[in-house]
């Protein structure tokens, strides 16, 4: 099920970008929220891959969001391709920016990513609608029905 959720995440990120593009004018706050979704993905991917930490609230414009989304989605596809029980059970120790250190499995981290993105994509969708755009549905059930 986790590979399917990650494929949904990729699909939903792309639809969120399309929703933002439907706005009559760019909205800095909504772009910031979308950049945060992508920044959080990049942060967790860096932790999983043992890379230096990245900013979970990057300051990105539309082009920057597109570039980071592409990089994240490539990394997710690689994770999906190498997903085994052992890989998912691997422990990742990391520190938050405010100091505390934690340890979680790759599986727990990937579930966090999926759920975190759903939460913030809902905020973006509401803002797109309020701003006169047309948010595309990003619900999992729409994805499994064929992408709506």
pLDDT of residue 147: 72
- For 24, which DSSP code? S
Residue 107 to residue 54: CA distance in whole angstroms: 20
> Per the structure block, which two tokens stand in for 97?
């920016």
pLDDT of residue 26: 87
CA 91, 65, 47: angle at the middle one, nearest 5? 10
Phi-psi category of residue 126: left, alpha or beta, with phi > 0 → left and psi -120 to 50 → alpha: alpha
Residues in the chain: 148
Per the structure, the complete domain to which residue 99 belongs is given by 2-144
CB 125 within 8 A of CB 52: no
pLDDT of residue 148: 59
Q: CB-based burial of residue 59 (10 Å sphere; 0-12 exposed, 13-18 middle, 19+ buried)?
A: exposed
> Per the structure block, which two tokens stand in for 75?
């990394």
Residue 31 to residue 20: CA distance in whole angstroms: 8
Can you give the pLDDT of all 148 residues of the chain as single tens digits?
A: 889 999 999 999 999 999 999 999 889 999 999 999 999 999 999 999 999 888 899 999 999 999 999 999 999 999 999 889 999 999 999 988 788 999 999 999 999 999 999 999 999 999 999 999 999 999 999 999 987 5
How many structural domains is the chain composed of? 1
Write down the residue that tokens 């590979």 correspond to. Answer: 3
Listed residue (67, 40, 71) closest to 55, CA to CA: 40
pLDDT of residue 53: 80
CA 123, 128, 130: angle at the middle one, nearest 5? 95
The CATH number for 60's domain is: 1.20.120.450
């Amino acid at each position: 099920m986790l590979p399917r959720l990650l494929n949904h995440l990729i699909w939903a990120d792309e639809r969120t970008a399309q929703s933002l593009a439907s706005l009559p004018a760019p909205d800095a706050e909504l772009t910031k929220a979308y950049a945060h979704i992508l920044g959080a993905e990049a942060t967790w991917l860096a932790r999983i891959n043992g890379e230096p930490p990245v900013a979970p609230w990057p300051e990105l414009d539309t082009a920057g969001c597109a570039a980071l989304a592409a990089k994240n989605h490539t990394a997710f596809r690689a994770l999906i391709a190498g997903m085994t029980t052992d890989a998912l059970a691997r422990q990742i120790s990391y520190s938050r920016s405010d100091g505390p250190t934690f340890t979680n499995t790759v599986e727990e981290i990937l579930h966090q990513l999926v759920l975190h993105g759903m939460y913030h994509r809902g905020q973006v969708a509401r803002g797109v609608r309020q701003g006169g755009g047309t948010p595309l549905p990003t619900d999992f059930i729409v994805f499994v029905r064929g992408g709506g």
